[in-house]
Amino acid sequence: MRAMQLALDGESDAEKAFFVADLSYVFRQHERWQKCLPGIEPFFAVKCNPDPYVLRLLAALGTGFDCASNGEISQVLRLGVDPSRIIYANPCKATSFIRGSAKSGVDMMTFDNTDELYKIARVHPGAKLVVRILTDDSKSLCRLGLKFGAPLVSVPALLAKAKELNLDVIGVSFHVGSGCYDSSAFADAVMRARAAFDMGKEAGYAFTLLDVGGGFEDGTFEATASILTDAISRYFPNREGLRIIAEPGRYYVSKAFSLATNIIARRAPPEPEKGSQDVEMDPEQPSVMYYINDGVYGAFNCILFDHQTPQPYVLSLSGSFHVPASVPLRASSVWGPTCDSIDCVCSITQLPESLQVGDWLAFDNMGAYTVCAASQFNGFEVSNVIYTTGGGAGAAEVRRALKMFVDEAVDV
């Protein structure tokens, strides 16, 4: 409402799109993790959403961090996080990045090929290495196995080379793919990890780490946790001296962020003249095009990169938050603000016939792989984030955790 008034007053970019982040949701997801997977340490995948307040909260809650670059490592270390709480989970790193992680004290890192071992031996011989194995990721939104992971058949040779180079391999990691929608994939991956552990023993290593990666989905989390727990119990019955970690990303943040966008333009067929016959509209084809002030080059890059299909709902209509259920709907399409024709947010959706320029549309579940990959193509700025701790469960705990984090940072 304030943005609408500022726009009327001539304020530049007053109607800019914005995120709302509910940090209490992140807290509740952490509690949920501890309840369902108490024996597995979460290392948040920074690439998913490197929001500073999300990272501060998770740091205060004691999570570890999965980093994929020197930039992410630096961002986490600046929070005061100990390097031992970071895994450099990128199997293919630039030599300068490996050298940088050594200087930062980040020793735990993944590998899946021989060339990586030679680089590490040259610039970070004291690294604690984790062999990344290939698993079945065919039931995931993003198939990481297309790029990373050593097939089991190649693991013995990799471990033999690591031994020859006098490198310390401490365990095994896998990733079933980002956004895994088949929980049974974790059971198969743990079975493969068991085989890799046995290969490590044959190579002269005594592995102490199992990294079960990411792929955790909010909607199937309890089912996944149950299958994963059973698989670990089956294939690792003796867990004495074994540390188990994971790399959840979207699980923590996807539903924590919503996006509010303003309708900046509208294209519709001309109103029929009085007395003329109404033209019958095809309900399966959008008859109105709405243009909003964020798109696929901004927050909605998740459509291109993360296979998401965000759906809008009306946030405000004619200056009111109340949208009567009786309002007639019309097939519509929603477009981003740039001059590129691929900038389509939603090819068809049902929206009120009375929706006009200046009204607002909202999108939920916008916390994962959105703002982190947004660009400023065409000169459009990345949408800002407004933070809240909500009014329900976890609000007080979030404020307390963040205050404690700030107090400890000041003491340091």
Which amino acids are annotated catalytic? Answer: 339
Which of 248, 261, 215, 249 is closest to 368 using CA atoms? 249
Could you tell me the two tokens for 110? Answer: 């993944």
Q: Would you say how long the chain is, in residues? A: 412
Q: Round to whole Å and give the CA distance between 66 and 45.
A: 5
Specify whether the CB–CB gap between 245 and 193 falls below 8 A. no
Helix axes 114-123, 155-164, angle to 10 degrees: 20
Which of 251, 225, 194 is closest to 28 using CA atoms? 251
Beta strands at 209-211 and 329-335: parallel, antiparallel or unpaired:
unpaired
Residue with tokens 């929603």: 334
Beta strands at 64-67 and 41-45: parallel, antiparallel or unpaired:
parallel
Residues 6+ apart with CB under 8 A from 382: 298, 299, 371, 374, 375, 376
Residues 6+ apart with CB under 8 A from 266: 288, 289, 290, 291, 355, 356, 357
CA angle in degrees (0–180, nearest 5) for 316-320-322: 85
Q: Round to whole Å and give the CA distance between 112 and 405.
A: 36
Q: Round to whole Å and give the CA distance between 127 and 125.
A: 6
Residue with tokens 């068991």: 194
- Detail the DSSP E strand segments found in 145-287: 168-173, 178-180, 209-211, 243-246, 257-267
Q: What single-letter DSSP state applies at residue 383?
A: P
What is the enclosing helix (H) or strand (E) of 130? strand 128-132
